Structure 1
Amino acid sequence: RRWLCLLMGLLMDFPPQEVSAWTLKMKFRKRDIRKMEESIRNFAHTAENLSSRNLKDSQIYLFCQGLSAETLVLLHALKPATSKCIEKYVENLKDVQVEISGRDLKEMGYRPGPLFRKVLMVLLLARIDGQVRNREEEEKFVRRWMEVEGLPGHERRRD
C-alpha cells in the first residue's frame, strides 16, 4: 500500500473537504478514502502530541493506537520529531497485553458491565508503563482500582 502513503503525503496540505471530494470523484475504494481522511484529520494533532518531551509509554500508546499503518508511516517520514515515539510504539508497545480478562474479573466477584472495559484499559496502561509485570500484580492492581472507584461492595456480583 505504498502508493497510498505517497498519495496521502501529497494531499496532506489540502483541506479535508477537498480531499474527500477529490477521492470520491476519482472513485477510490471506500476503505482507502477512510484511511486518507483519517490520516489527514489526525496528522497534525498526533504529530504535535508525539513531539512533546517526556511522554510516558502509555501516552505514546494512546496517541498511536487506532491509527492506520499508513498514518504511522507518514508521521515517521514527515515529522522527524515523532520518529522515536512511532518506533517505540511499533516495536514495543502496540502488542502489549494484560494477562487477566473479563472472565477473570467475574471470577474475582465483579459484575460484568461497562466498567470492565475501563478497568482493563487502565490495567493495560499500567502494564505499558511498567507498574504491573505479572498476573498477580495485575489482580492486586484491579482490586485496588475497584476499591478506589467504590466498587468492593455494591458493585460486586451477588450469586
Structure 2
Amino acid sequence: MIKPITHMPKGYECPFCRVISGLDVPNNGTKQEDVIFKNDYVTAFIASKSWPNNKGHVLIVPNQHVENIYELPKEYAGEIHQAAQIVAFAMKDTYRCDGITTRQHNEPAGSQDVWHYHLHVYPRYKRDFFYLTRGLQTKPEKRAIYAEKLKKWIEAHL
C-alpha cells in the first residue's frame, strides 16, 4: 500500500481528539453534551455546523486518531458504519426525516477540513435543497435539542 501524505499543519490540535478525550472544543465548537454515543472504537456527536434544512446532523469518528480513509484500520470501518446505522434509525424515528445521507471527505481536494477521519450522517427531507446550502456554526443550546432526542432513542434501543 502507498502511504498517503499528511495534510495536517504542523502543531495541529485535533478538535475531535479533544471530544474523544472528554474535553470541549472552545467557543461554539463541540461540547461533551453533543456526544450521543461512544464505545471502545467510535464516538458520535451532533456536528457544530448545521445545514438550514437538515439540523441535528451527526459526526462519527474513530477514537483512534487517523487522518483519513487511507489510514483507517478495517476494524474501525465496521464500527463506524454500525454506529451510522444506529444513528440513521434514531434520526428516522425521532426527527421523522424522509431519508438519510452519509458523506465522508478525504484530503483538501475532497473537501476535508478537519484532519481526523469522520463520517457525516444527515437527516434528509423532500425538497430540502441540501446540495444548494452550506453549514453554519450552531450554538450549543440549539444542538442540545437534537443531542437529547438521539441520546434517549439510543439508550432505549441498545
Using the size of structure 1 for normalisation, the TM-score is 0.28
* Higher-helix-fraction structure: 1
> Which is higher, the Rg of structure 1 or of structure 2?
1
Which structure is richer in relative contact order (CA contacts within 8 A, separation 6 or more)? 2
Using the size of structure 2 for normalisation, the TM-score is 0.28
* Higher-strand-fraction structure: 2
